[in-house]
Amino acid sequence: MTAFPQSLFDGLVYGAIVLTAGGGITLLALFVRDLKGGSLW
Amino acid sequence: MLAAAIISPVTGGILLAVFSVLWVLLGRYWGQKAKSLDGFMVAGRNVGLAFGAATAVATWVTSNTTLLAPQFALQLGIWGMLAYSTASIGLFLFAPMAKRIRTLMPHGYTSGEFIRLRYGKAAYVAFLAISLFYAFTWLVSMAMAGGTLLEALAGIPYLIGMTVVLTVCVLYTLFGGLFAVIGTDFIQSCIILVGIVIVAIACLTQVNLGDVYTHTLEERPMLLDVLFPAAVMAVFNNLLFGLGEIFHSNVWWSRAFAMREGVGGKAYALGGLLWLPIPIAAGFIALAAPVMGINVPRADQVGPLVAGNLLGTTGAILVFVVIFSSIASSIDSLLAATSDLVTKDIYAQFINKGATNEQLRKTTGVVIVGLGVLCWLVCAPRVGTLATVLFFAGSLVGSTIWPIAAGLYWKRTNPLAATLGLILGSAVGLVGYFTIAWYVAALIGTTVSMVVVIGGSLIAPREFDWKRLNPSAASESA
């Protein structure tokens, strides 16, 4: 059996958490931008 | 039901009441904007990037990611997590399609409308059957997830939890239409993203990732196997399932119609990027369960159980809110999009052809309530796990990928080939589901449909005038 290396497993998990956090920040930043510009909807 | 709930029924009941009141009040507030048919069905066609991206993320974060991704990780290991992440590819690929849909059909409402104008009545009927069946299956799986969550976390009986979740979603969708759906989606997506990050970080502070890897390698090496056959099949199946679901479902088309011109493409691409890591961030904690000695009685409850054990009552409350948000954001979307489909494509096409906008607006409300009641009746007996219920429809949605994609971009797509692609792809895919396994259904459905649509259109091409997709402009120019 060929197992996924641990470095890949670690990278996936850490990368996913950082990207998820970044996603939340991006959404909030866009919300503020749209709100200020009067273009939410 | 679990042996021991993580929070008390009283705490669960209070949380449920607080968020239920919040969603319904917001629904009423945004409902003030949704008086007209365009306001109710497509949120005034002026949704911006923040709300557009958030609604894509929140709608696609369903029990798939908060309940089923951990289940996949537990059963299929690394490939299981990756399999779920591939569902984001549907959002990426739909981004250019959303732009094209908005351009070709600036006054459109539903995906069914596209099929009718593009391919004619036979394809329309087949598509509606598939689309309504799938939307309803998804709705049922979400409502079941709601009941399962409340039972797992707070010991609230499944039937009561499911009923409350469904009722709340019906109410605020009824009050505010797509405005309420998209508005609450933004709040729900923020809650989901923050909650997942907190639980994941908490997991990393209490469990060593190296230990998780080593334990898995020793006890269940298959979960780390690069060539785990069932898991590799699940990757392809999930990818195609996601593509088919997003390409055909009115949940996504209604948002393409709702977004302001120039926003749709960006919103879906950003939504895909934000969604991509969520199944991994939410799923990996399931692999930590055995390391922490947590007994998992039902695979689809592994996520809440692990988070509750990690963070105690706070974690359980957090997971409760995250999963409630993710389920509500999907149920409301399905109620809104499916009621549009029933109203515009069944009521206005087959029952009352001359219906006024006011009649259509009223009908939409009736349909939302009707869908809620029907869903409750199906959910009450609690049949099957989340995966089996949801993936039953894999072959059906897989068969829609090529008729939709070819219909949007290939002028010469043959309507008969598209119709046969829908029917044969679904039928053969279902045979695969029952005779092989659930994880090949979408793969088979897509492949058969692709061969029929492309082969049929190459053999007998039919020219199509894109202007026919915008009947009001076509009649003006005529």
Chain A interface mutation, best of B29, B49, B57, B235, highest count of A Cβ atoms under 10 Å: B49
Asked whether the predicted pLDDT for residue B2 surpasses 50, the reply is no
Q: What is the pLDDT of residues A1-41, one digit of tens each?
A: 788 899 999 999 999 999 999 999 999 999 999 999 998 98
Residue of B226, B260, B322 to mutate, interface with A, max A Cβ within 10 Å: B226
Average pLDDT over residues B393-408: 93
Tokens matching residue B17: 């009441």
The whole-angstrom separation of Cα B386 and Cα B364 is 28
B274 closest CB neighbour out of A13, A26, A40: A26
Residues of B in contact with A12 (CB under 8 A): 78, 81-82, 280, 284
Chain-chain contact of B284 with A23 (C-beta, under 8 angstroms): no
What is the Cα–Cα distance from B230 to B251, expressed in whole angstroms? Answer: 30
Beta carbons within 8 Å of B385's beta carbon, 6+ residues apart: B298, B299, B300
- Name which of B32, B189, B261, B284 to mutate to probe chain A: the one with the most chain A Cβ atoms within 10 A of its Cβ: B284
Contacts of B43 in chain A (CB under 8 A): 41
Answer whether residue B257 shows pLDDT above 50: yes
Give the single-character DSSP code of B45: G
Q: Which whole-number Å values give the CA distances from B251 to A23, B248, B333, B423, B425, in the listed order?
A: 22, 9, 6, 22, 22
> Does A26 contact B227 at a Cβ distance shorter than 8 Å?
no
Nearest residue, CB atoms, B46 vs list A19, A23, A41: A41
- How many angstroms away from the CA of B384 is the closest CA of chain A? 30
Place of tokens 């997971």: B319
**Cβ atoms of residues B83 and B293 within 8 Å:** no
Q: Residue B172 — very low, low, confident or very high, per pLDDT cuts 50/70/90?
A: very high
Is the CB of B225 less than 8 angstroms away from the CB of A3? yes
DSSP codes of every residue in B185-242:
HHHHHHHHHHHHHHHHHHHHHHS-HHHHHHHHHHH-GGGGBTT-HHHHHHHHHHHHHH
Residue B410 has pLDDT above 90, yes or no: yes
Nearest CA in chain A to B225: A3
Of the candidates B119, B98, B314, which has an alpha carbon nearest to the alpha carbon of residue B202? B314
Choose the closest CB to B48 out of A4, A16, A41: A41
CB-based contact B297:B82 (threshold 8 Å)? no
User: Are residues B227 and A9, on separate chains, in Cβ contact within 8 Å?
Assistant: no
> How many Å lie between the alpha carbon of A36 and the closest alpha carbon of chain B?
12
Give residue B402's identity as a one-letter amino acid code. W
| Mean pLDDT value across residues B248-276 | 95
Share of chain B above pLDDT 70, in %: 94
List of chain B residues whose C-beta atoms are within 8 Å of the C-beta of residue A10: 209-210, 213
Task: Identify the band that residue B1 occupies on the pLDDT scale cut at 50, 70 and 90.
Answer: very low
- Contact (Cβ atoms closer than 8 angstroms) between residue B130 and residue B397: yes
Supply B34's token pair: 């949704």
CA distance A18 to chain B (A): 8
Residues from A contacting B (CB-CB < 8 Å) are 1-4, 6, 8-10, 12-13, 15-21, 23-24, 26-28, 30-31, 33-35, 39-41
Do B277 and A30 lie within an 8 Å CB cutoff? no
CA distance to partner chain B, nearest, from residue A9 (Å): 8
Do residue B197 and residue A19 have CB atoms under 8 angstroms apart?
A: no
ipTM summary value: 0.94
Chain A: give the shortest CA distance to residue B467, in Å. Answer: 28
State which residue of chain A sits closest to B51, comparing Cα positions: A40
Extract the tokens encoding B55: 């609604």
Q: What confidence tens digit (pLDDT) does each residue in B363-378 have?
A: 999 999 999 999 999 9
**CA pair distance B100, B103, nearest whole angstrom:** 5
**What's the angle, vertex CA B394, arms to CA B441 and CA B251, rounded to 5?**
165
pLDDT in the model for residue B476:
59
Which residue(s) pair with A3 in the sheet?
B225
Tell me the chain A residues in contact with residue B276 when contact means C-beta distances shorter than 8 Å: 19
Greater model confidence, B391 or B47? B47
Mutation site for B-interface testing, chosen from A2, A10, A20 by largest number of B Cβ within 10 Å: A20
Taking residues B402-420, what's their average pLDDT?
A: 97
B39-73 residue pLDDT tens: 999 999 999 999 999 999 988 876 556 667 888 88
Coil, helix or strand for B468?
A: helix
